[in-house]
Amino acid sequence: MMLKLGIIGTNWITKMFVEAAKKTAKYELVAVYSRRAETGQKFAEDFTDVVQIFTDIDAFLKSGIDVVYIASPNSLHFAQAKAAIEADVNVIVEKSAFDNIKQYEEIHSLMRQHPKVRLFEAARHVQQDNFKLLAQQVAKMEHISGATLIYEKYSSRFDAYLAGEEPNVLSKQFAAGALTDLGVYPIYAAVKLFGLPQEQHYFATLLNNGADGRGTVILRYPKFDVTIIFGKGSNSYEHSEILGYRDTILIDSIAELTDIKYDDGQGNVTVISQPVLDNPMIPEADLFAKIMLDPLENDSIYHDLEILSQRVNIVLTELRKSAGIEFATD
């Protein structure tokens, strides 16, 4: 069976996901929703599928799609996911999925009324083989002394901000900023590897419009801290590290995971990463399809994904509170 895929959002990440989904041979692109028909049509031209273009979201959700991939601005995720669930359509939503704990709880309360619907947060990096190899190495370490995870990448829209504009990826109005757009990657990794922290603190550097452009997060665990550094206004080439007693894991990028090494502290360095796929979204697309096509067989896997997404949502919400950053939905 092929899953009939509809998409919301016509940017580069949507194109990457559709290409990944098609490579799994478990999806076919059948529908595109866009506020402007010409934008949706232009997106669809990149694919050979027979695709319907919609400017009405209700008609889009009732068009027979099995699953919708949502990659719209963060502030639109909640309403669009809610509409999809009410239409009994499965949802894959880009991170950060929802603005706060309140939205998360409302969505999952609604899902109890639609028990056949599955909702996934698209955190591609934690589904990649190299992340699994990283997690296996962490589990083998005798002791964790701490970690520093870095993801600082100059935004393609930062020049527009410097020119006096307010791009939606750098605007509180769209529930965006460094934490929700970039910090979510290392936070997802930390929560996946170490669980919920006991405390979380965010020291944010704010832009002129009040959104966070850069910041440092401290996650406190019982016996160690995780320091997370991220930003949208500069590029960092520093490695991320997970520290043992004398041994160390070195990671080139906590989001891309292309080069991971284990240094035992005694002169032995082992490369534990494998060559990455051309499209890093293939593993998540394949996993999500596996769950949707056989939900009973894969119920425990789906339950683990739900718990991880909920924990990340809690941490992100508490971090924003600690930095005094409020969204309109708070």
Residues 211, 217, 221: CA angle, nearest 5 degrees = 150
**pTM attached to this predicted model:** 0.96
Tens-digit pLDDT profile for residues 180-218: 999 999 999 999 999 999 999 999 999 999 999 999 999
**pLDDT-based confidence at residue 48 (cuts at 50, 70, 90):** confident
214 backbone dihedrals φ, ψ, rounded to 5°: -160, 160
Mean pLDDT to the nearest integer, 221-241: 97
Q: What is the pLDDT of residue 217?
A: 98
Distance in angstroms (rounded) separating the CA atoms of residues 34 and 177: 23
Please identify which residue in the block is written with the tokens 């939905």.
329
Question: pLDDT for 63-105, tens place per residue?
Answer: 999 999 999 999 999 999 999 999 999 999 999 999 999 999 9
Q: How would you classify the pairing of strands 3-8 and 199-206? A: unpaired
> 321: pLDDT confidence band, cut at 50, 70 and 90?
very high
Provide the b/e sequence for 108-133 (b: ≥16 CB within 10 Å): eeebeebeebbbbbbbbbbbbebbeb
Average pLDDT of the chain?
A: 97
The first and second tokens of residue 36, run together, are 């402007």
Radius of gyration of the chain (CA): 20
320 burial via Cβ count (<10 Å: 0-12, 13-18, 19+): buried
pLDDT reported for residue 1: 83
Cβ neighbours of residue 112 under 8 Å, at least 6 residues apart? none
